[in-house]
Structure 1
Amino acid sequence: MSRHDASNLAQRLGRQAEAVCRHYLSNGHREGRYWFVGDVRNTPGRSMFVRLVGSQSGKGAAGKWTDAATGEHGDLLDIIRESRGLSDFRDVAHEAIAFLGLPHPEPEQTSTRSKLLAAPSETSEKARRLFAVSRPVAGTVVETYLRNRSITALHGTESLRFHPHCYYRPDQHSPTETWPAMIASVTDVCGHLTGAHRTWIDPSGRGKAPVDTPRRAMGDLLGHAVRFGRPGEVMAAGEGIETVLSLRCILPDMAMAAALSAAHLAAILFPVTLRRLYIVHDPDPAGDGARDVLIERANAAGIEAIVLSPAFGDFNEDLCRFGIADLRARARVQLAPQDIARFMPVAA
């Protein structure tokens, strides 16, 4: 099969993008204009995004996909190849041609996500209980931990709490340990708690606890975030809590949200009032993928998207390396002019 024939076949599949995803990526689900799944091999999860609506060809074509966790990308022919474990392209083409001859079900009117929202999950309830029994961070090891990360502006951080003895279990075969932890509430755009994020901290506050996975989340996370400030027409969204809090040090009145991962950043839901979104970019393959998907989603919703990029790995690293004055100067040139006066106070 020639390159032209392969392109035509990919375009034909693109016209049936949702049906292709339902057949070959059955462990995923639709959310808006995208199909979410773990990866191209149909692993359960949410880091891979397949465009269901778009042009016939080019970067924005229906059927194009990106895995925010790995940076992999491709088209529906790649999905067929990987999900079926095929190596010869002739077999991929035969499979695709056979699929196109199948009857395809109509797209579901009610998304899988809507069904899941009908009843709170057990882990969401556990997250609510954990957050309820935790206490404010002022004067605790959480405050020490954040200050050791050069984060000194802790206004509007009601979404963060401290638990002195939070359970940690390395795996199902290991005994349970307890460590101090920063507990963050994950909420939807209306402020309803849907999950919680735990960062286990060394008792000294000098860093994270010496465990294999010092960060874990629980509950309903997709589309939601750890939120700081009240969302309005302008907000910023990034991956990590410390990254977002670093920007809050220089933009104290801008609403911000930490989505906790690149995959969840790409899927974050927009407040109805939002008109301009600052995308806090982590410059790695996963961050690049999340940035691209989020720009596209924002533009489709009529929201202006502006990318804020750090000099190093993230804005907290910039803050720790250069200090707040340099961070302010680097961020200032990336902001819309009207937002400098509105959100960036004059340095003392």
Structure 2
Amino acid sequence: MTAMLSASQLADRLAHDAEAVCRHYLSAGHRAGNYWVVGDVANSKGRSLYVHLSGHRRGRWTDAATSEYGDLLDLVRETCGLVDFRDVAEEARRFLNEPHSDPVSSRRDNTLGSQPVDRPAGERARRLFRMTQPLSGTLADSYLRQRGILRASLHAALRFHPSCYYRDLASGRTSSYPALIAAVTDQAGATTGVHRTWLDPDGDGKARVDDPRRALGGLLGNAVRFRFPVHGPIPVMVAGEGLESMLSLSHVMPGMPTVSALTANHLAAFRPPTGCLRLYVAADADAAGRHGIEGLSRRAQALGILPLVLTPELGDFNEDLRRLGPDRLIANLRAQLAPEDASALFPA
């Protein structure tokens, strides 16, 4: 009987049948020793994602390409494109109440019989973004204003969710918090993922949880985009890591197309748009940030794009904005920009 099991109990039951779960939801993969190996949570062919099939970590999975991880309940959620925990639990209970003794017959059925099911990686992200509301006047707008970002509601990529599902990966406990939602898009403007920042309901910064920021969906090569024109080339732009850091740059350089790749690894893999001539790479002042700068700079040079680095005075550009003020941040940026870009953005 699985109807009354908690989230952690459901995860444990799924882990007990870890290989059957993998064969059912990740049928494009295969067993390799004590692991199930597959391309990603969209059931693509490849070797990026691996699931532990034995030992004390049985049922835990990691995607080396995206840094996503979780247990098998998270895997069910991702592969099925579910948003509400109630739907995730119902799917897990349905699986657990069905026989799965035959590894071949346990593969998910479809019209092609033996072909893996095509589950787009960003479907859950797109569904979540459709459930959001405009940012202006919300708790998320207030949160960003407290961070010195005063015109965030002008960005179509930013939205608000009043009660976004959150699951603690260690305990399995579920809850919900208001959240700032940012759309991750590809070069064509299609939403491939989302970034969530869970917020304290009383307006005191981020929610008091272990990891108040998480991304999901197709992140590799894509980004959260600000001030990007719908049509035409983008000869000059800025790419960087953190959402608030890049929003800070967009705040003081409203005429500059800017993207947040969310992490240093994803920054290194960002795909600059066609027609880009100069790419300013802005990253946090740490080892991971340097990795992102170097990786994206090499990619830009290979495409014939001139990479130029922007560095903050403090830890990141949002810290510069909050602690040093917009005028000091503008002066620091003006000194690092190419003369033609400085004069266009900050006319005398």
* Cross-structure match for 2:206: 208
Query: Hey, what's the Cα distance between the residues in 1 that align with 2:268 and 2:288?
Result: 10
Divergent runs of 4+, >6 A: none
* Cross-structure match for 1:293: 295
Q: What is the one-letter code of the residue matched to 2:158?
A: L
Query: Hey, what's the Cα distance between the residues in 1 that align with 2:309 and 2:188?
Result: 25
Going from structure 1 to structure 2, the CA distance change for 1:243 and 1:212 (only over 3 Å counts) comes to same
CA contact (8 A) 1:148 1:205 kept: no
Structure 1 unaligned runs (5+)?
A: 1-26, 30-35, 49-117
Query: Hey, what's the Cα distance between the residues in 2 that align with 1:345 and 1:192?
Result: 34
Going from structure 1 to structure 2, the CA distance change for 1:243 and 1:28 (only over 3 Å counts) comes to farther
State which of 227, 247, 252 in structure 2 corresponds to 1:245.
Answer: 247
* Cross-structure match for 1:274: 276
Going from structure 1 to structure 2, the CA distance change for 1:210 and 1:281 (only over 3 Å counts) comes to same
Q: How many Å apart are 1:140 and its aligned residue?
A: 0.3
* Cross-structure match for 2:258: 256
Query: Hey, what's the Cα distance between the residues in 2 that align with 1:307 and 1:345?
Result: 21
Query: Hey, what's the Cα distance between the residues in 1 that align with 2:304 and 2:188?
Result: 20
CA contact (8 A) 2:136 2:153 kept: no
Query: Hey, what's the Cα distance between the residues in 1 that align with 2:38 and 2:311?
Result: 31
**Deviation digits for residues 191-240 of structure 1, max 9, x if unmatched?**
01001110001123331100001011111110000001125111101111
Q: How many Å apart are 1:343 and its aligned residue?
A: 2.3
Query: Hey, what's the Cα distance between the residues in 1 that align with 2:137 and 2:222?
Result: 28
Query: Hey, what's the Cα distance between the residues in 2 that align with 1:155 and 1:149?
Result: 14
* Cross-structure match for 2:65: 46
* Cross-structure match for 1:332: 334
Query: Hey, what's the Cα distance between the residues in 2 that align with 1:186 and 1:180?
Result: 19
TM-score w.r.t. length of structure 2: 0.65
State which of 178, 192, 195 in structure 2 corresponds to 1:194.
Answer: 192
**Deviation digits for residues 34-67 of structure 1, max 9, x if unmatched?**
xx979xxxx851379xxxxxxxxxxxxxxxxxxx
Query: Hey, what's the Cα distance between the residues in 1 that align with 2:264 and 2:297?
Result: 13
Q: What is the one-letter code of the residue matched to 2:296?
A: L
CA contact (8 A) 2:264 2:283 kept: no
Question: In the alignment, is residue 312 of structure 1 matched against residue 314 of structure 2?
Answer: yes
Query: Hey, what's the Cα distance between the residues in 1 that align with 2:63 and 2:295?
Result: 20
CA contact (8 A) 2:281 2:308 kept: yes
1:84-103 residue pairs with structure 2 within 5 A? none
1:102-251 residue pairs with structure 2 within 5 A? 121=120, 123-154=121-152, 156-171=154-169, 173-230=171-228, 232-251=234-253
CA contact (8 A) 1:250 1:328 kept: yes
TM-score w.r.t. length of structure 1: 0.65
Q: Which structure has the higher relative contact order (CA within 8 Å, separation 6+)? A: 1
Give aligned-pair identity as a percent.
Answer: 47
Question: Cα RMSD between the aligned structures?
Answer: 2.5
Q: Secondary structure at the match of 2:152?
A: coil
Query: Hey, what's the Cα distance between the residues in 2 that align with 1:206 and 1:314?
Result: 21
* Cross-structure match for 2:27: none
Q: What is the one-letter code of the residue matched to 1:252?
A: P
